[in-house]
Amino acid sequence: MEAACNAISVDDWESWPQESNPHRSIIIGDPQIVDNYSYPSRSWLELAITKVFSDNYLHRNHNIYSKVLNPDSIIYVGDLFDGGREWTDKVWLKEYVRFNKVFNPVEGVRQLRQIPGNHDVGFGNGINFDKYSRFKAYFGNADEVVLLGNHSIVLMDTVSISCIDNDRISGASSKFLRSFEDPKNPYKEFPRIVVSHVPLYRFTELQECGPLRESKRAFPVSRGNQYQTVLEYELSQKIVNWIRPIMLFSGDDHDYCHIRHPLDKSFSNSHEDYQFQKGDHPGIKYTDEITVKSSAMTGGVQKPAIQLLSLWNPENKLDDTWTVNNKETKKVDAETAETYLCYLPSPYQPLVHYGITLAFSIWWIFVCTVQIGFGNRLNVTFSRYVHKVPKMIRRLFKKDIKSIGMTYLDAKSNNKFEKYFNNLIDWEIEPQRSWKTFLNNCGVFLCITFITLLYYFSTI
């Protein structure tokens, strides 16, 4: 992870002046820490192992990107928990403590964690008021504007505003959104960036996610028990046309998606309205929406990622000369804000390496203790060819042995060398087949491997 972060130089994607001092944020998508509701079919042991590895993957990455990338703030787009909406207060508090261990406070870094997801409190009319109040009591109110780098970061509780049956849940969120209908809203003094858990409605035949999305299927537009993959169309139009953000970040889907919403084109699905030209201004002609990839190894994506955001607005440039970027790149930019898709290390590659080593080692023990006939034949064949190596080296270099530093291949010391060499390549095969020896050796080896694995993976 540290090598991956070091490989991402801000000079490679930031285009600010050399003397600039931008505000840098990291946007975290759907950590969704594993709990008993995540994999109901798994045994307690399987679930415990999954928790250990997934928690440590999140925690290790959190500490390293906080150290190496040195962000000023970290913004979470919701779904902090997996079964948060199901838990009793007693269990929820334990999971809250666990979450704070995984994403521990970092000195000098502001963490904005108040946006709820449907896994935290539910969605729309399915939200329980007590669970909703509990989340806000510990994480804060999501419906607020935070000023970062001369930008208005609009944090929206879009799962609650979708509740039409209970004004106690949706009332504050609706009022907050309506305040942006007023052109004199003071937060419109700066360029706006919206952060929402649920993505905005889109016409999938007109608004494609681009090549950086892992899934080759169109973005899902559906709903079910306690979830909805996109907001209602009318609500989505209010968000983009009232707030008029230059960028909008969403989560929930777990996979990357970059689309553009035309402004002032409500109820239009004309192909022409979704074509943008060089010189079109974000916040005036369109809004870039980026659905952030999941940062978890259990998020269902092969390559977890975080989203980097850089804000530089020293002169309070508002709707000035903006640029249109190529959707096939990992960078999306405007004149005062740039964002970059940053992949995290593969969570499964180390486990695959351990698995291959483990499988080969167990096979080797089997050959030496049970399949002894094959083991002896393999030993003889291997020794026959490997014993020729010293002679081949001597023949190849002849009188240059001393010049290449291989004095141990000199004829005088050859016998001593071959003695050690034989000890190295000749392995001991059991005289008789012994399943007991096989099981004992496998048990010891498995324990050592598992302890080593836990030691290097555990950071909490």
Distance CA 459, CA 329 (A): 34
Burial class (CB in 10 A: 0-12, 13-18, 19+), 256: buried
Residue 119 in contact with residue 82, Cβ under 8 Å? yes
pLDDT in tens, 404-453: 455 444 555 556 656 666 666 666 677 888 899 899 999 999 999 988 88
Question: Contact 60/2 with Cβ under 8 angstroms?
Answer: no
Res 319: pLDDT: 44
CATH superfamily name and code, 20-347 = Metallo-dependent phosphatases (3.60.21.10)
SS3 category, 111: strand
| H or E segment and range at residue 227 | strand 227-228
Which residue type does 50 have? Answer: T
Which residues neighbour 210 within 8 Å (Cβ) at sequence distance 6 or greater?
256, 257, 258, 259, 327, 328
Domain ranges of the chain: 20-347, 350-457
Distance CA 261, CA 253 (A): 18
What is the residue whose two structure tokens read 């919206």? 194
Is residue 380 over pLDDT 90? no
**Across 37-45, average pLDDT:** 90
Q: What does the pLDDT read at residue 393?
A: 65
Report the alpha-carbon distance of residue 190 to residue 172 in Å, rounded.
23
Residue 203, pLDDT score: 94
361 Cβ contact partners less than 8 Å away, ≥ 6 residues apart: 445, 449
Give per-residue pLDDT as tens, 385-405.
776 776 676 666 555 555 545
Which amino acid is present at 193?
I
Q: How confident is the model at residue 50 (pLDDT cuts 50, 70, 90)?
A: very high
434 near 369, Cβ under 8 Å? Answer: yes
Q: 41: buried, middle or exposed (CB in 10 Å: 19+, 13-18, 0-12)?
A: exposed
pLDDT of residue 434: 87
For residue 10, name the pLDDT band (cuts at 50, 70, 90): low
Q: What is the dihedral of CA 187, 192, 195, 200, to 10 degrees?
A: 120
Return the SS3 of 174.
helix
| Tens digits of residue pLDDT in 285-314 | 999 999 999 999 999 999 999 999 999 998
Supply the Cα-derived Rg of the chain in whole angstroms.
Answer: 29
- pLDDT in the model for residue 322: 38
Token duo for residue 358: 């483990």
Nearest residue to 258 (alpha-carbon basis) of 314, 225, 305: 305
Q: Which of 287, 299, 323 is nearest to 207 (CA)?
A: 287
SS3 readout for 237-265: HHHHHHHCCCEEEECCCCCCEEEEEECCC
Res 277: pLDDT: 84
CB neighbourhood size of 73 (10 A): 19
CA dihedral of residues 256, 259, 264, 267 (deg, nearest 10): -90
Of residues 368 and 194, which shows the higher confidence score?
194
**Dist CA 98 CA 101 (whole Å):** 5
Q: What residues pair up with 155 in beta bridges, in sequence order?
A: 144, 195
Q: Which helix (H) or strand (E) holds 308?
A: strand 305-311
45: DSSP letter: H
Report whether pLDDT(67) > 80.
yes
Q: Which stretches of 324-371 are DSSP H helices?
A: 349-369
* Residues 388 and 449: beta-carbon distance below 8 Å: no
Sequence-distant (≥ 6) Cβ neighbours of residue 197 within 8 angstroms: 77, 78, 79, 115, 116, 117, 118, 157, 158, 159, 250, 251, 252
Report whether pLDDT(57) > 90: yes
Tokens 């393999």 appear where?
378
Nearest to 394 by CA among 383, 384, 408: 408
Phi, psi of 166 (to 5 degrees): -135, 105
pLDDT value at position 187?
94
Helix or strand (DSSP H, E) at 452: helix 435-457
Between CA 262 and CA 241 the distance in angstroms is 9
Give yes or no for residue 215 having a pLDDT over 60.
yes
Total count of residues recorded for the chain: 460
